Structure 1
Amino acid sequence: MPLEALYAYPEQAKLGRILPKNKLYEQIKPNQALKNLFITQIEQIQWQYVLASRTINLIHSSPVPEIQVFTLTLKGQQLDLTTLKAIDQVIKFPTLFEVVKGDQAQLIAAYKRPNEVDNNKWVISDYFLSPWLSITSARQALPVAVTLAHLYQQIIHSLLPYVAKPTEQLEDTIERISQINSKTKQLSQAENRLLKEKQFNKKLLINSKIKQLQQEIAGLIG
């Protein structure tokens, strides 16, 4: 089920610190193209909350010692997700982004987990986005959890476009969604080729591929 309201974070977890872009650049070391995205698309970055055992009284663990919540205020209508990935790569904790555009906000997050080979690095999934939600409407309580890891997993689940299958682990669900997205892209490309193709025999081959992809996508979704 899509997220219907933004989350209410505990007041004791509030940090409310503006994060200067120049300080961020020192860590990210962006090329000019990435720097231009930060300049043209993002008005302000705030480090809003730190969800940790000391602030919300949940048990921490090595995969999820803390959860950082950032607010990004946009200058215009668009945000290139490359900017979020650049921030995620230098923040050594799971991260949630509230992206604000006018009187609406969108919760965006990738699933982050420690790299099994190098614990100083993180594996970052694709990004998952909530609908645009009113920032003036009442916020909903955080999911009930006893550990930060469980809280983080539930928040990520609330952003996923498809529900988990029974007994499916979060990592498996995310991998399945990645496959759905990849095959959906292939399907779109095949449909475009079919529209342009003139030869009947080639049309048959493309049509067969389209049906195969449709079946594979349906199986992954189901």
Structure 2
Amino acid sequence: MVNKFYEKMNIPENCNVGSTIFKKLFYENGTLTSSDKDIFTNDIEKITWKYSFKEENLNIKRFKNEELDYEEIALIEVLLFKEARYKKICEIVQKTIPYPLLIVLMHEDKILLNAAYKRINKVDNSKNTIDNFAYSKWINIHNLKDNEVSFMNSIDIRNFSFINMYKFYQSFVEKLNLLNASSITGDFEALKDRDIGEVNKLNNQIEEINSEIEKFKIDINKEQHFNKRMDINIKIKKLEFKKNDIIAKLNS
């Protein structure tokens, strides 16, 4: 199923690696808790280093300065037994493998994409600092929504920036951010010409509001007093109105 995604990326054959990454790597080089090890044992079936993007195989210049090291980008595929703890899995993989990573999680007929910007840790050069994580929603490859079809048609790497490896990576992350915003608006194409900074800002505001609403919904289920339940309901309604205003800005 994931081959459809890779076909859309149009990755040259000389970028193929296809090497299994054994869980032992994470046990030995990561700082895994017993809970983390439980996730790797019970949730992950297989981890594969699928592709490597670098100057030698894509003719894209490396990018390195005091803050950033984008000499090589690895695409890592993670086949899951269970999907629930995918965020923790991505965090562990991103923190353990020093390269800039694109992660493709697979579970049944679905894939989920992850990226994370990394900076050089000035205290310990052997480690990276991760600024933020970007996740798609789960995508059913055999039942794509309209915005997902548009996203899949946009990820041909020949259309990414070839200025340097950092810009190349940034191209994918921007597509991922547009996909996330279009999951709200329903229209990927309409967002393509928008300022990506503005799209990200509005999308982040919506995500924050969604988190607040979820917390209030948990509170209302616990609350026994009618008046307090009404107060929480009013707060939820206000947040929903605010969210709709932001969605309108995304659509405008």
TM-score (norm 2): 0.70
Structure 1 residues 219 and 122: alpha-carbon distance in aligned structure 2, compared to 1, 3 A threshold: farther
Q: Where does 1:69-80 land on structure 2 (aligned, <5 Å)?
A: 69-76=75-82, 78-80=84-86
Shift of 1:155: 1.4
Mapped contact 2:160–2:172 kept (Cα < 8 A): no
Mapped contact 1:112–1:124 kept (Cα < 8 A): yes
Mapped contact 2:103–2:115 kept (Cα < 8 A): no
Distance 1:90 1:98 in 2: 16
Match of residue 56, structure 2, among 54, 57, 74: 54
Q: Where does 1:173-188 land on structure 2 (aligned, <5 Å)?
A: 173-174=199-200, 176-188=202-214
Q: Residue 71 of structure 1: SS of its match in structure 2?
A: strand
Mapped contact 1:96–1:107 kept (Cα < 8 A): no
Asked if residue 34 in structure 1 is aligned to residue 8 in structure 2, the reply is no
Asked if residue 214 in structure 1 is aligned to residue 220 in structure 2, the reply is no
Relative to its length, the structure with more helix (as a share) is 2
Aligned to 1:87: 93
Amino acid at match of 1:31: T
User: Can you list the C-alpha shifts for 1:77-121, whole angstroms capped at 9, x where unaligned?
Assistant: 55432121111012222211122334x351421331316865642
Q: Where does 1:142-221 land on structure 2 (aligned, <5 Å)?
A: 142=157, 143-147=159-163, 148-160=165-177, 161-162=180-181, 166-169=194-197, 173-174=199-200, 176-194=202-220, 196=223, 198-200=225-227, 202-203=228-229, 205-221=231-247
Q: Residue 239 of structure 2: SS of its match in structure 1?
A: helix
Q: Residue 146 of structure 1: SS of its match in structure 2?
A: coil
Shift of 1:76: 4.4
Identity level (%): 17
Structure 1 residues 107 and 76: alpha-carbon distance in aligned structure 2, compared to 1, 3 A threshold: closer
Give ranges in structure 1 of 5+ residues lacking alignment.
none
Distance 1:57 1:117 in 2: 29
Structure 1 residues 205 and 78: alpha-carbon distance in aligned structure 2, compared to 1, 3 A threshold: closer
TM-score (norm 1): 0.78
Structure 1 residues 124 and 85: alpha-carbon distance in aligned structure 2, compared to 1, 3 A threshold: farther
Shift of 1:174: 4.5
Give ranges in structure 2 of 5+ residues lacking alignment.
143-151, 183-190
Asked if residue 96 in structure 1 is aligned to residue 102 in structure 2, the reply is yes
**Which stretch of the first structure deviates more once superposed, 154-163 or 13-22?**
154-163
Query: Which fold has the larger relative contact order, with Cα–Cα distance below 8 Å and residues 6 or more apart in sequence?
Result: 1
Aligned to 2:18: 16
Amino acid at match of 1:40: N
Match of residue 125, structure 1, among 113, 132, 154: 132
